[in-house]
Amino acid sequence: MTRDCIYIIDTFSLMFQVFHAIPAMRGTQGQPTNAVFGFTRDILGILDRRPTHLVCAFDSPGPGKRNAIYDAYKANRAEMPEDLRPQIPLIKELLAGFRIPILECAEWEADDVIATIATAAAARDMEVVIVTTDKDARQLLSPTVRMLNCRKNTFFDGAALMEDWGVRPDQVVDFQSLVGDSVDNVPGVPKVGPKTAKTLLETFGTLDHVLANADKAQGKKLQENLIAFADQARMSRELVRLRTDLPLEIDFEAARIQAPDRATLHEFFKLLNFRRFAAAMSDESSAEKPMDVDEIPPGESSVVIPESARAVAGSAGANDSLRPRQQSLFE
């Protein structure tokens, strides 16, 4: 008997990916649907991997706790695309149809929700796969926690982290505190890039030890920056460190994979003009069969989808050699 395995989806991250990967599509009422279509296909690809549990983490609307620490946090983020915003409630309807729970926590980000769920799941001796490309999630990696990139259909683990950044999962927060993050507008320490951060952490181990030994760093300018921006580095650490103890009620039984509400999804897919998905949900004989998710079917929308877009958007479930074996994701 193998351990249970939970997939935790970083919902907005995946939603943005598919929105930009698939050209515009419209439903029967003219509503934008490309993100919903891509999200549906990724959900089906994830279900095809046979997890025992699945849950979606959402960001809480409005300013969060980190804005109280640093008011410029995420200040450089662009506005949500006009055609993406109305697709959010549709994706929530989709998840309700698949009976996949949604979890969010007021004033906290999906990353913190994911960290809290992953920690609780690990405490229950579950295997964990975080569906995200967000580098903040790298701090959660462990022998039983990995990340999945649906677009590339690849997993990312501690070994991949060491190859990419040259640090361990327990050093990720300190690494990002030194380097900063332009995406989230986390300042870090000026002139400290990934190679320098790696060297500093190899030498001193932790951010606190790096700052305490700033006068021993290689180069006068680096020494000066580590001293002058020590408080900024510590603040950056608070911005990138994920909370693992949010006051969430995590119902693992509700997160257990269930049969979808086929009738509801059939009507939902008809409304959005997803003909193949609607047909599959109306055909009871197909209930136990995986749906074909590798390409956008002809006539599915009023636009012609280029092959390049199909390749990007259709990568989930396209390569069996990358799928985890049913008996264990981590063997």
User: What does the pLDDT look like over 231-264, one tens digit per residue?
Assistant: 999 999 999 999 999 999 999 999 999 999 999 9
User: What does the pLDDT look like over 129-148, one tens digit per residue?
Assistant: 999 999 999 999 999 999 99
Residue 108 pLDDT: 97
Classified by CATH at the fold level, domain 169-240 comes out as DNA polymerase; domain 1 (1.10.150)
Residue 49 pLDDT: 95
Residue 119 pLDDT: 98
d(CA 327, CA 4): 10
d(CA 2, CA 48): 18
d(CA 315, CA 309): 10
| 289 pLDDT higher than 60 | no
**C-alpha dihedral, 154 to 156 to 161 to 163, nearest 10°:** -30
328 vs 39, higher pLDDT:
39
d(CA 144, CA 169): 12
Beta carbons of 193 and 222 less than 8 angstroms apart: no
Residue 105 pLDDT: 97
Percent of the chain with pLDDT over 90: 82
Beta carbons of 132 and 14 less than 8 angstroms apart: yes
Strand partners, 58: none
Residue 168 pLDDT: 97
Burial class (CB in 10 A: 0-12, 13-18, 19+), 132: buried
d(CA 236, CA 234): 5
The candidate with the shortest Cα–Cα distance to 176, out of 197, 162, 205, 200, is 197
Angstrom CA distances, 184 to 66, 73, 101, 164, stand at 11, 6, 27, 20
Boundaries of every domain in the chain: 1-165+243-321, 169-240
d(CA 252, CA 258): 12
**Which CATH code for domain 1-165+243-321?**
3.40.50.1010
Residue 284 pLDDT: 59
Nearest 5°: phi and psi at 134? -70, 125
Residue 32 pLDDT: 97
User: What does the pLDDT look like over 55-108, one tens digit per residue?
Assistant: 999 999 888 999 999 999 998 888 899 999 999 999 999 999 999 999 999 999
Helix (H) / strand (E) containing 70: none
- How many residues appear in the chain? 331
d(CA 114, CA 297): 33
